[in-house]
Amino acid sequence: MDERDRKPYVYRLRGLTIGVMLIITILGINIWNLQISQGAYYAAEAKGNYMKLVKVPPTRGDIVDKNGNILVTSVPEFVLNLDWLDLQQSKTSDWKEVVKRLAGYIKPYWPYPNQSVESITEDILVMTQNHQWERYQPVMVLDNVPQDLQAIIAEHQNELPGVSVDAVPLRSYPQKTLAGQLLGYVREIGDKEIAEFNQNEDAQKASFEYAQGDMIGKMGVEKSYDFWLRGKEGIKQVEIDNRARPVSKQLIQPPEPGMTVQLTIDADLQKVVEESLDQVIANVQKNTNPDAKSGAAVVMDVNTGKILAMASRPGMDPNDLTGIISDSMFDKYYTNKIAPAASLNRALSGLYAPGSTFKMVTAIAAFQLQLTTPDEQIDGKKSSLGNLAAQQQGTSEWGGNDFGLVNLSRALAKSSNIYFQVMGRRVFDTNPEVVRQIANEFGLGVVSGVNLPGEAKGIAPSAEWKKAYFGPTYIKARDKKLADIEADYATKLEQAPDVKSRQKLQAKKDAEKNAVEFEYKQKVYENVNWKLYDSFNNSIGQGYNSYTPLQLANYTATLVNGGKRYTLYVVDKLLNPITGEVFRQYYPKVINSVSVSPDNLDAVKQGMRAVVTGTGDDAGTAAGIFADLPEFTGGAKTGTAQLGNINTALGKSYNGVFVAFAPYDKPQIAFAGVVEFGESGGSTAGYVAKAAFMKYFGWESTNGN
Amino acid sequence: MVDKKNLKNMDVPFVVAVLLLLATSLIVLSTASYNLVKGQPYYYVELQTMWILSGIFLAMMVNRIDYQRLQKFSWYIYGFNILLLSAVFIFGSEAKGATRWIPITSSFAIQPSEFAKIFLILSFSDFLTKRQGKLNRFRDFIAPFFYVLVPMLLTFKQPDLGTTLVFMAIFIGMMLIAGANIRKFGGLLLAGATTVGLALWLHFSTNLPSWLQFAQGLPLPMKEYQLKRLTVFMNPALDRSGDGYNILQSMWAVGSGGFWGKGYRQGTQGQLSFLPEQHTDFIFAVLSEEFGFIGVITLLVFFSIFLIRGINIAMHARDLYGVLIATGIITMISFHILINIGMNSGIMPVTGKPLPLISYGGSAMWANMISIGLLLNINLRSRRLIFK
């Protein structure tokens, strides 16, 4: 090939050179783009590939009573873990051998006793297999490892690389049923609860978000203080390979244990109240009503709003609800099959008719409207209620008694129905709303603000309330019937052949509409309008009245502390679990002061004193209870709340209700208690109050009871 | 026999570039394959050293015979090539859904397509030499096209789309250098590329205008996985566990290398085995991750010297036959570099082609060393000898 022949090829080969260099340049520019321009992005992606952040669970905080006694704590449960990283870093070449050896040691402790070592080995391998995209986390092979197995594992540690017995915190309630419903229990969060818990203000402030798999408090203090109890998760950084096997690990943020929550509850007092309640219920069950199985009681500080004891029966042991819940456990705690559901905190969420314990409200209303004075005497005869028609709507004195002429003090002492019905009639005839207003001022029918989930609000009735509550149903029914008539006649009228038949139809339609209107008015008169019997029932705490024991206690406290309604609270402070420093202290807070004059409050207080004093004809309804306690100077009020209408099955069943305070001068504590089917408050809940006072003040009975 | 005087012709930068590339291969392989075989961190390095040494020996053997003497056997070479590619269908063993290997012993198999490329270059060079100055009309393109089409179809059938594309590249490169009319041949290429592009578009499109509805989902003569690779290449995030995973992992490896790299055996993508085929197809990603942009540029400089000096050898070849052989080899190696580095950095679909002289692999190493032997053969017997 000579030079002239060669020329075109050289020319074209120069083109090839340019093409090749172009390819190299394009590749180089692209690499520049990846490594330099977007290098940070890719570096982050690559890092996310192999760096996994693993949560390290913190220890949940303790719950202690006002004296520091532990009510809830976390105890170590021992689990057997298999850690891939340690297994791989060991010298043993065949880690399956390690698993097989391990299977041999744990065989006697394996949940399925008839399994062979081979099949246990297989099971463990399957566990690790199922775990393969999370190999950076240890696999739990066995929980609840007993001490002798721990010893065996420790002894053979050098031939079992990667196998460890680790302590994981397990929630424990060492006092069993003591204040069970108040404390609550801990379980895994439910899907629907995630949003609810993320509403928590403290959690939001800390930008903490609840997520699936979190363990949370399901009720009680465990729930309302969950955010503070749970602590902060630590973070462990684990480097993994493409099969998610850990290569190295490092704790980059240690977990912070949860706060210690100190309650206002006095565990000793709580215990006395619960035991007394159990005893009273057992007595009622044995002697009067076999259905009596439940009740509730509250003891509170009248000058702060602190709850000192809050008991609900049947009792709940939170330990029963932390693990697998059996069918019988489920029935016990969540259904009424065996007994009334034990998980219900009746002091907080149970609504009860107050019965005669409501009578102080009626009296105060009458004083407020200046419809009576404490000295006015009413003849305790049914004729005092008015004419025969009125008498038929009222209630006689209890037990067919005749208390003669009664003033306020005697009326309370004897629990005169006639006196309070007379006062009630006057009050409702003057202003049907005022009883409700006063009840609300004393915390009845309004939430107490106690920081516990599931508080019931109750009902303080009035004419307006009754109208708003029952009215809409009848209006709706009437409107529907009227609309039906209109629709029915619209076509009929259209199809009518002549004017005459049309007029006839029109008349028929009007008649039907009038009938509906009439029926409505009748129904409203009967069921919606405030009636005299409503006034009578309401005056003595029957009818629509329903309150929680917590509200009744707060009402009593407000009556005797000078008329200040405090926010109720069960948590006194949050403490740093390590240093013991106070992180947050809760202080008493007055929600409202009542609009009742001190003289009137005093008159009522004196009347409550009369309930627990006197002898013979002057003896109060609860005088007998406290007869052997000379140091007792407080007051009380008994209540016997009829459960249903006289004509229904429950008509002859009564709850025993009791409220009390002590001492008389400068009262310190208030009590409210209910014993379901307890017949009378004096003979049941009254004894719980007595036990609580004896414990709180250190009194002793003069006859050794 | 090579005359001692011929050695003066030797293109030293070319030889140095080859040796540097081979050294690079061993260095990168010593980190890329470090964790692959448990307990034997240098398993692949040792094997690759063996392939390199035997490859150098092969190159020297190739050098001994004057390449011009091969020209007479062109049709035998062509025929043998067809037989070799057909043999895969008879003796071939299947690997990853394709029959590309012919087993020799239980642990040793050769990949005929690697050698088929060289045989095609040798025979096609002769074919085109005979048509010197007769490649100006459209009809002149027909015979060369069918000449290449036969081996191309055989590899396509294996299926080995990568090698088919390499044959295509060799055909185009050699035709252009051999003197094909640029406008006419270029026009044909453009038309062909447009057709292929259109067919792919019709195949993948989902909402065509009504008048084109009939062509929607146009069937293509390709395997499902090959088509999937193309779609995944367009959007790697679609398939985070399969091919898309490979592309993403490779891009993360390359990108995370930065300017200086993470350091020798410090690359997390490679050392923790997130990269697929890290000692063969994705070895470039390991190099990029651990040696950074500096390392990549160094490699590209080595390749540039190698290719430019290779083209220079073609320019000074003694005859057109030599020019075309050299052209074919340069085209082949350039195309391999393009699709491998392109695939490693996310601008080319995954076709499973190794990076010449760097990736681990016996057949590829031998084929590349034979190619280099041929280039040196042409170099040593270049025109300077004649016009001295």
CATH number at residue A437: 3.40.710.10
Q: Tell me the two tokens of residue B232.
A: 């995944």
Domain boundary among A529, A548, A581: A529
In a domain, residue A288? The reply is: no
Task: Determine phi and psi for A533, rounding to 5 degrees.
Answer: -65, -25
B289 and B36 Cβ atoms separated by less than 8 Å: no
B265 contact A CB<8A: no
Tokens of B377: 């053969």
Q: Nearest-CA residue of chain B relative to A32?
A: B293
Q: Which of A1, A17, A30 sits opposite B345 (nearest CB)?
A: A30
Q: Provide the 8-state DSSP code for A52.
A: E
Whether B373 shows a pLDDT value over 90: the answer reads yes
Burial (0-12, 13-18, 19+ Cβ within 10 Å), A199: exposed
Measured between CA atoms, the residue of chain A closest to residue B249 is: A46
Query: What's the pLDDT at A314?
Result: 92
A17 with B342: Cβ contact below 8 A: no
Structure tokens at A241: 């390979």
Instruction: Find out whether B91 and B103 touch, Cβ atoms under 8 Å.
Output: yes
Q: Which residue in this structure is represented by tokens 């329903």?
A: A546
Q: Closest approach of chain B CAs to the CA of A82, in angstroms?
A: 22
CB atoms within 10 A of CB B260: 13
How much is the pLDDT for A140?
Answer: 83
Query: Are A50 and B173 within 8 A, CB to CB?
Result: no
**pLDDT given at position B36:** 84
| pLDDT attached to residue B20 | 97
**Three-state SS at B357:** coil
Per CB-CB distance under 8 Å, the chain B contacts of A35 are 254-255, 257-259, 288, 292-293, 296
Domain membership of residue A221 as a residue range: 53-263
Please compute Rg for chain A using Cα positions: 37
Q: Which residues of chain A have pLDDT under 50?
A: 92
Total number of domains in chain A: 3
What is the DSSP track for B129-160?
HTTTT---SGGGGHHHHHHHHHHHHHHHHTT-
Q: How many CB atoms within 10 Å of residue B371?
A: 25
DSSP B174-185: HHHHHT--HHHH
- Helices (DSSP H) in A33-177: which residue ranges? 39-50, 84-89, 95-106, 117-130, 147-155
- CB of B288 within 8 Å of a chain A CB? The answer is yes
Contacts of A136 in chain B (CB under 8 A): none
Cross-chain residue pair A39–B258, CB shorter than 8 Å: yes
Same structural domain, A214 and A163: yes
Which has more confidence, B230 or A118? A118
Residues A578/A255, Cβ–Cβ less than 8 Å: no
Contacts with B300 from chain A: Cβ below 8 Å: 24, 27-28
Which of A10, A35, A49 is the closest to B257 by Cβ?
Answer: A35
Instruction: Report CB contact under 8 Å: B307, A20.
Output: yes
What SS3 class is residue A55? strand
Written as one letter, the residue type at A555 is Y
Establish if B135 touches chain A: CB-CB under 8 angstroms.
no
In a domain, A241, yes or no: yes
Q: Searching chain A, which residue's CA lies closest to the CA of residue B322?
A: A1
Rounded to an integer, the average pLDDT of B239-257 is 82
Q: How confident is the model at residue B387 (pLDDT cuts 50, 70, 90)?
A: very low
Residue A7 C-alpha, separation from nearest chain B C-alpha, in angstroms: 9
Domain annotation covers residue A497: yes
Query: Across the interface, which of B252, B303, B342 has its CB nearest the CB of A42?
Result: B252
Residue B216 reports pLDDT greater than 80: no
Quote the minimal CA–CA distance from A245 to chain B in Å: 10
CB spacing of A247 vs B272 below 8 angstroms: yes
How far CA A393 is from CA of A148, A362, A459, in Å, comes to 75, 18, 22
Chain B hits for A42, CB-CB cut-off 8 Å, are 251-252, 254-256
Q: Which long-range contacts (CB under 8 A, 24 or more apart) does A195-200 make?
A: A197/A226, A200/A226, A200/A227
Say whether the peptide bond before residue A549 is cis (omega within 30 degrees of 0). no
Beta-carbon separation of A34 and B255 below 8 A = yes
- The DSSP 8-state label assigned to residue A459 in this structure reads B
The residue ranking higher by pLDDT, B206 or A184, is A184
Q: Which of A5, A9, A38 sits opposite B255 (nearest CB)?
A: A38
**Are A172 and A234 in the same domain?**
yes
Contacts of B177 (CB under 8 A, 6+ apart): A9, A12, A13, A16, B314, B323, B324, B327
Nearest-Cα residue of chain B relative to residue A38: B255
Same domain? A495 vs A576? no
Kindly state whether residues A473 and A586 are assigned to the same domain.
no
Mean pLDDT of B358-382: 94
C-alpha closest to that of A238 among A87, A13, A348, A85: A85
Interface of B with A in 196-255 (CB under 8 A): 248-249, 251-255
- If you count residue pairs, one on A and one on B, with CB atoms under 8 Å apart, how many are there? 140
Within 8 A of A15 by CB-CB distance, chain B residues are 176
Task: Name every residue whose Cβ is closer than 8 Å to that of residue A627 and which is 6 or more positions away in sequence.
Answer: none
Final residue belonging to a domain, choices A508, A529, A550: A529
Higher pLDDT, B289 or B108: B289
pLDDT at residue B388 greater than cutoff 50: no
B34 φ, ψ (degrees, to nearest 5) = -60, -40
Cα distance between residue A42 and residue A451, in whole Å:
49
The interface residues of chain B toward chain A in range 323-362, judged by CB-CB distance below 8 A, are 323, 327, 330-331, 334, 337-338, 341-342, 345-347
With CB atoms and an 8 Å threshold, state whether A35 touches B292. Answer: yes
Where residue A582 falls (left for φ over 0; alpha for ψ -120 to 50; beta otherwise) is beta
What's the CA gap between A604 and B18, in Å, rounded?
Answer: 110
- The per-residue pLDDT for B161 is 84
SS3 A447: coil
Residue A277 inside a domain? The answer is no
User: What's the pLDDT at B3?
Assistant: 65
- Whether residue A508 sits in one domain with residue A546: no
Helices (H), A561-702: 598-611, 623-626, 685-697
Distance CA B68, CA B319 (A): 9
Q: Which helix (H) or strand (E) holds A299?
A: strand A295-301
Q: Which of B179, B273, B317 sits opposite A8 (nearest CB)?
A: B179
What is the predicted pLDDT for the residue at A20?
96
**What does A313-376 look like in DSSP terms, one character per residue?**
ES---GGGGSSPPPHHHHHHHH-SSSSS-TTS-HHHH--B--GGGGHHHHHHHHHHTTS--TT-
Question: Using the beta-carbon criterion (under 8 Å), do A9 and B320 form an inter-chain contact?
Answer: yes
- In contact, B6 and B22? CB cutoff 8 Å: no
Taking the C-alpha atoms of residue B335 and residue B344, their distance in angstroms, rounded to an integer, is 14
Chain Cα centroid distance, residue A506: 58
The tokens describing A286, both together, are 């044995």
Determine phi and psi for A656, rounding to 5 degrees.
Answer: -90, 125
Q: B41 and chain A: CB distance < 8 Å anywhere?
A: no
For residue A312, the SS3 value is strand
- Type of residue numbered A137: Q
pLDDT value at B1 more than 70: no
On whether any CB of chain A is under 8 Å from the CB of B318, the answer is: yes
Q: Checking DSSP bridges between strand A260-263 and strand A295-301, what pairing results, if any?
A: unpaired
Could you tell me which of A435, A408, A434 has the C-alpha nearest to residue A419?
Answer: A408
Res A548: pLDDT: 94
Q: Do A549 and A502 reside in the same domain of the chain?
A: no
Nearest to A450 by CA among A298, A655, A273, A333: A298
Subunit contact B176:A16, Cβ cutoff 8 A: yes
Residue B273 or residue A366, greater confidence = A366
8 Å CB contact of A45 and B252: yes
Q: Which H/E stretch holds residue B114?
A: helix B112-129
* Rounded Cα distance, A425 and A431, in Å: 10
Whether residue A476 is found in the same domain as residue A584: no
Using an 8 Å Cβ cutoff, are A635 and A612 in contact?
yes
Check B304 against A21: CB less than 8 A apart: yes
Tens digits of residue pLDDT in A118-171: 888 888 888 877 766 666 777 888 888 888 888 888 888 888 878 888 887 888
Q: Which residue in chain A has the smallest CA separation from B256?
A: A43
Interface membership of B383 toward A (CB under 8 Å) = yes
Does the structure show a pLDDT above 90 at B271?
no
Q: Convert the pLDDT of each residue in B111-148 to its tens digit.
A: 888 899 999 999 999 999 999 888 889 999 999 999 99
Q: What angle do CA A278, A548, A283 make, to 5 degrees?
A: 20
In a domain, A145, yes or no: yes
Same domain? For A468 and A455 the reply is no
Give me the amino acid identity at A52.
Answer: K
> Where is average pLDDT lowest: A54-68, A106-120, B77-91, B207-221?
B207-221
Q: Is B102 helix (H, G, I), strand (E, B) or coil?
A: strand
Within a domain: A135: yes
Pairing of strands A63-64, A260-263: parallel
Same domain, A129 and A245: yes
Q: How many Å lie between the alpha carbon of A100 and the closest alpha carbon of chain B?
A: 23
Shared-domain flag, residues A129 and A250: yes
Mutate to test the interface with A, among B71, B181, B240, B256 (most CBs of A within 10 A): B256
Contact B255 A10 (CB under 8 A): no
Q: Which residues of A touch B383 (CB under 8 A)?
A: 1, 6
Among A529, A550, A582, the domain boundary falls at A529
In a domain, A47, yes or no: no
The rounded distance, in Å, linking the Cα atoms of B317 and B375 is 9
Same domain assignment for residues A452 and A478: no
Q: Of A74, A81, A78, whose CA–CA distance to A231 is shortest?
A: A74
- Give every strand in the sheet of A669-675, ordered side by side: A307-313, A295-301, A669-675, A654-662, A635-642
- Mean pLDDT value across residues B360-381: 94
Mean pLDDT of B157-185: 91
Q: Do B255 and A45 touch (CB under 8 A)?
A: yes
CB < 8 Å to A38, chain B: 255
**Burial call A170-193: b when 16+ CB within 10 Å, e when fewer:** bbbbebebbbbbbbbbbbebeeeb
Question: How far B334 CA sits from the closest chain A CA (Å)?
Answer: 7
Residue A609, helix vs strand vs coil: helix
Strands A295-301 and A70-82: unpaired
List all residues 6 or more positions away from B310 whose beta carbon is below 8 Å from its beta carbon: B14, B326, B329, B330, B333, B375
User: Residue type for A272, please?
Assistant: V
B293/A35 Cβ within 8 A: yes
Q: Which residues contact A339 (CB under 8 A, 6 or more apart)?
A: A293, A294, A314, A332
Q: Within a domain: residue A598? A: yes
In this complex, do B296 and A31 lie within 8 Å of one another by their Cβ atoms?
A: yes
As beta bridge partners, residue A674 has A296, A657
**Same domain for A366 and A514:** no
Give the integer Cα–Cα distance in Å for B242 and B236. 9
The residue among B135, B175, B252, B275 with the most chain A CBs within 10 A of its CB, best to mutate, is: B252
Domain CATH code at residue A104: 3.90.1310.10
Cis peptide bond prior to A497, omega within 30° of 0 = no
